[in-house]
């Protein structure tokens, strides 16, 4: 029976193959994918960081409440010239390790600290290249994998990279030049300064979304930044970009709120940014979205979050646990989106089998095998579908039952992060 089916299928693949075997835009079984991207400003201490992370990512009982079992990342600094936090790798602007350093390393290794929010808090100036040099030495010595950088602070923070005139971190010849160091340890995804108010990138769109995109672009339509008009109109999560020194990278957009600008993108703004209606819209559009926030900017101990913030996060946890919304870290979401959008693959039908070959991605980056986690292909015969990455067979391909569209598929397993133990 299967052979007859596949024979018919093979005969019609010539004209209909895109419908027969196709890449699902979001990993099975989810409808949309979300990252909550928390800049580390105003996270006062290691204790605060740990309490928040346990609440978000475990199911333990915490001072905030019963843990939500999500997968949400965090960012970090190496230095703090304003003495505003103890949550840094080095003490203030010394080169002496802080008590938080060991834990930060653990969380980077586990994938839960997944981006660098610049080398440190230098919002009032005082940054020097030697800070970046010792940070990069630390990254190399500890063999840390960090792909993502997000700018921080006002125009006086010259270590920022990007196209704006005050962003000197990628200008060779500037005393603040650091992007050669970032390149030497593999940073690839950069958040320059873009935020948007459109729910969902790379998903379905309505007419009003184009108007919102125009409004977002308006803020940047000065001087050299007209290129952002196209970026907003295309509404991709990420696009390739070039730093001022020629380094080829990807830049990405973070979502602020569909209701316009929020004064402080902090824990208490989350209910406004991520209402159930917004989550529903994201799922309806099958979009990707990275939410801009500062979870360390909150009501303080012991509970940190108000009831309405907790309710918002509980709703997101419900959508995740009921298989509608994939929730993961900023970097994992960026990798997933990049791989999905630029995947170069083909398939053939042979001896009653559907064989899918993942060849490369059509972008300036070579993913590791692990970076294909979650990729899902619709196939008419999941039980006899094989997947090969770079010519090597994936041994643990998962056969999925029909999803909400009624179509069956296979997936490369998506492995959840493992929360660090023994803290």
Strand pairing report for 409-411 and 398-400 = antiparallel
Minimum separation from the CB atom of position 122 to Zn ion (A) = 11
The three-class DSSP label of residue 391 is coil
In this chain, which of 20, 27, 36, 41 binds Zn ion, going by CB under 5 A?
A: 41
CB nearer to Zn ion: give 41 or 71: 41
Nearer to Zn ion, 115 or 177 (CB): 115
Q: Which is nearer to Zn ion, 64 or 116 (CB)?
A: 116
Closest distance of CB 388 from Zn ion, Å: 42
Peptide bond into 283 cis (omega under 30): no
Residues forming beta bridges with residue 346, ordered by sequence position = 357
Supply the minimum distance, in Å, between the C-beta of residue 41 and Zn ion: 4
Of the candidate spans 145-153, 267-275, 313-321, 340-348, the one that interacts with Zn ion by CB under 5 A turns out to be 145-153
The least CB distance from residue 118 to Zn ion, in Å, is 8
Tokens describing residue 212: 């919102």
Strands 353-361 and 343-350: antiparallel
Per CB under 5 A, 121 contacts Zn ion: no
Cβ-based neighbour number of residue 46 at 10 Å: 20
| Interface stretch with Zn ion, choices 54-62, 150-158, 178-186, 402-410 (CB under 5 A) | 150-158
What CA–CA distance (Å, rounded) separates 247 from 245?
Answer: 6
Q: Which of 54, 152, 310, 408 binds Zn ion (CB under 5 A)?
A: 152
Residue 254 binds Zn ion, judged by CB under 5 A: no
- As measured in angstroms, the least distance from the Cβ of 50 to Zn ion is 20
Q: Which is nearer to Zn ion, 41 or 283 (CB)?
A: 41
Q: d(Cα 236, Cα 35) in Å, to the nearest integer?
A: 15
Sheet (strand 409-411) strand order:
22-23, 376-378, 409-411, 398-400
The stretch near Zn ion (CB under 5 A) out of 41-49, 138-146, 268-276, 298-306 is 41-49
Please name the residue ranges forming H helices in 259-396: 270-273, 276-285, 307-321, 330-342
Nearest residue (CB) to Zn ion, 41 versus 281: 41
The radius of gyration computed from the CA coordinates of the chain, to the nearest angstrom, equals: 22
Of 188 and 294, which CB lies nearer to Zn ion in the complex structure?
294
Measured at the CA of 110, the angle between CA 109 and CA 113, to 5 degrees, comes to 80
* Total residues at interface with Zn ion (CB under 5 A): 3
- For residue 87, the minimal CB distance to Zn ion (Å) is 13
First CA to last CA distance, the chain: 56
39: contact with Zn ion by CB under 5 A: yes
Name the closest residue to Zn ion (Cβ): 152
**Residue 206: Cβ-neighbour burial (10 angstroms; 0-12, 13-18, 19+):** exposed
- Residues facing residue 121 across a β-bridge: 80
Pick 41 or 48: Cβ nearer Zn ion: 41
Which region among 37-45, 59-67, 105-113, 277-285 touches Zn ion (by CB under 5 A)?
37-45
* Rounded least distance, CB 120 to Zn ion, Å: 11
Question: Where on the chain is the footprint of Zn ion (CB under 5 A)?
Answer: 39, 41, 152
């Amino acid at each position: 029976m299967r052979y007859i089916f596949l024979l018919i299928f093979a005969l019609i693949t010539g004209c209909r193959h895109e419908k027969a075997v196709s890449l699902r835009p979001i990993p099975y079984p989810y409808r949309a994918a979300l990252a909550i991207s928390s800049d580390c400003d105003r996270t006062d201490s290691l204790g605060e960081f740990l309490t928040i992370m346990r609440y978000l990512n475990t199911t333990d009982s915490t001072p905030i409440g019963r843990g939500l079992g999500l997968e949400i990342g965090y960012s970090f600094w190496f230095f703090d010239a304003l003495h505003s936090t103890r949550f840094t790798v080095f003490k203030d602007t010394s080169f002496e390790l802080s008590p938080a350093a060991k834990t930060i390393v653990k969380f980077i290794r586990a994938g839960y600290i997944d981006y660098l929010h610049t080398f440190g808090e230098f919002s009032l100036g005082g940054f020097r290249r030697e800070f970046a040099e010792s940070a990069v030495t630390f990254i190399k010595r500890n063999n840390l994998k960090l792909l993502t950088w997000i700018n921080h602070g006002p125009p006086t923070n010259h270590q920022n990279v990007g196209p704006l005139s005050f962003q000197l971190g990628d200008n060779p010849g500037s005393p603040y030049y650091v992007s050669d160091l970032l390149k030497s340890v593999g940073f690839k995804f950069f958040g320059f300064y873009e935020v948007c108010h459109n729910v969902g990138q790379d998903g379905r769109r309505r007419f009003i979304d184009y108007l919102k995109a125009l409004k977002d672009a308006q803020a940047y339509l000065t001087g050299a930044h007209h290129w952002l008009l196209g970026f907003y109109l295309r509404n991709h999560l990420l696009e390739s970009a070039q730093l001022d020194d020629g380094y080829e990278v990807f830049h990405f957009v973070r979502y602020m709120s569909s209701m316009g600008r929020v004064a402080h993108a902090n824990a208490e703004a989350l209910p406004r940014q991520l209402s159930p209606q917004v989550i529903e819209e994201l799922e309806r559009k099958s979009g990707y979205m990275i939410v801009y926030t500062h979870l360390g900017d909150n009501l303080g101990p012991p509970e940190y979050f108000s009831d309405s913030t907790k309710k918002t996060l509980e709703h997101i946890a419900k959508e995740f646990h009921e298989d509608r919304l994939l929730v993961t870290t900023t970097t994992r979401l960026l990798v997933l989106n990049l791989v999905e959008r630029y995947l170069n693959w083909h398939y053939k039908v042979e001896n009653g089998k559907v064989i899918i070959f993942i060849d490369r991605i059509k972008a300036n980056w070579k993913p590791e095998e692990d970076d294909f986690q979650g990729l899902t292909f619709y196939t008419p015969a999941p039980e006899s579908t094989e997947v090969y990455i770079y010519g090597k067979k994936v041994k643990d391909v998962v056969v999925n039952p029909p999803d909400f569209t009624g179509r069956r598929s296979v997936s490369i397993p998506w492995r959840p992060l493992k929360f660090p133990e023994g803290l």
